[in-house]
Structure 1
Amino acid sequence: MPDLLAQDELRWRRSSRSVGMNNCVEAARLPDATLSVRDSKNIARQALRFSPTAWSRFLTAVHDGTVD
């Protein structure tokens, strides 16, 4: 998938529960409504992208405890 925006041009957000140790996940919304997710410890690596539906299903599975 071609980059819609360079990673450094995105507005990355961290969980409010992050303790500032730089060991969390950051997320940014892209113009096409997909969600870009990256590891805050290694921001140079390419971020993962999820459709809104895929992200919602993932969060539901985490909440339900069905993710390995």
Structure 2
Amino acid sequence: MFHWCKSTPLDTVVLVDAHSALVGLRNFVMPLRASNYTRHELKDIVFIGALEYFQREWRFLRNFPQIYVM
């Protein structure tokens, strides 16, 4: 079952800019990379945002597989 809502423009859901405080993306990623999933069950995670922000957050994400930043 899925919950649907009206479309939201992308620019209204951006949470951070290059100088924002870290939001703890590691806490978002950890349940999606739990050890009870096999490598084949993992889905790619793609974050879209300012490269400068993700450079600060990357040290908490760099050891998780299939994480991409755009």
Q: TM-score, normalised by structure 2?
A: 0.22
Q: Which has the higher helix share?
A: 2
Q: Which has the higher strand share?
A: 1
Q: Which has the larger radius of gyration?
A: 2
Q: TM-score, normalised by structure 1?
A: 0.22
